[in-house]
């Protein structure tokens, strides 16, 4: 039994590594740019944490500069921002049947579902809220 286990372990250690494919950009992509299908290529190799599905990357926004030939990682991309810094946005507060809306100025940029700081233009106070799909900011 020990001999069979030893042979199995030795065979596993001597076996060639299994190669996978990972995504690389074909050109340098600047931060805040949208990634297109023609910007990407698959490369053979094994890189821990590298992305391998082009469908998950195409249409996403580069969060940092993506350099040609370097593997793409999950933190390098994200959904496109729908609010830019200094944009005028609608602040919405909902509680039960009550809805209050006010005008605010975004102090950061972000995509739907992300938190962003906004200055209420009437009271000049800064609040943090979640960006809605329509570009408004929901505060609690």
> For the chain, which residues make up each domain, given as ranges?
18-78, 88-139
> Which CATH architecture describes the domain 88-139?
Roll (2.30)
Indicate the pTM of the whole model.
0.69
Across the range 37-58, mean pLDDT stands at 91
Topology of the domain covering 18-78: Type Iii Antifreeze Protein Isoform Hplc 12 (3.90.1210)
Read off the pLDDT of residues 80-98 as tens digits, 9 standing for 90 and up: 999 999 999 999 999 999 9
pLDDT > 60? residue 47: yes
- Average model confidence (pLDDT) for the chain? 88
Structure tokens at 99: 């809805």
Contacts of 82 (CB under 8 A, 6+ apart): 110, 111, 112, 131, 133, 135
What is the pLDDT at residue 16? 52
Tell me what the mean pLDDT of segment 12-22 comes to. 63
């Amino acid at each position: 039994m020990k001999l069979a286990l030893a042979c199995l372990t030795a065979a596993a250690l001597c076996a060639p590594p299994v190669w996978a494919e990972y995504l690389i950009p074909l050109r340098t992509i600047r931060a805040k740019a949208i990634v297109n299908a023609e910007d990407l290529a698959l490369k053979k190799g094994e890189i821990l944490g590298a992305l391998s599905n082009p469908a998950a990357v195409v249409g996403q926004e580069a969060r940092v500069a993506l350099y040609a030939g370097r593997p793409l990682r999950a933190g390098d991309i994200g959904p496109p921002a729908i609010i830019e810094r200094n944009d005028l946005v609608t602040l919405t507060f909902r509680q039960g049947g009550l809805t209050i809306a006010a005008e605010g100025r975004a102090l950061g940029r972000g995509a739907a579902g992300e938190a962003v700081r906004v200055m209420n233009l009437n009271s000049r106070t800064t609040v943090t809220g979640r960006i809605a799909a329509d570009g408004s900011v929901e505060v609690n």
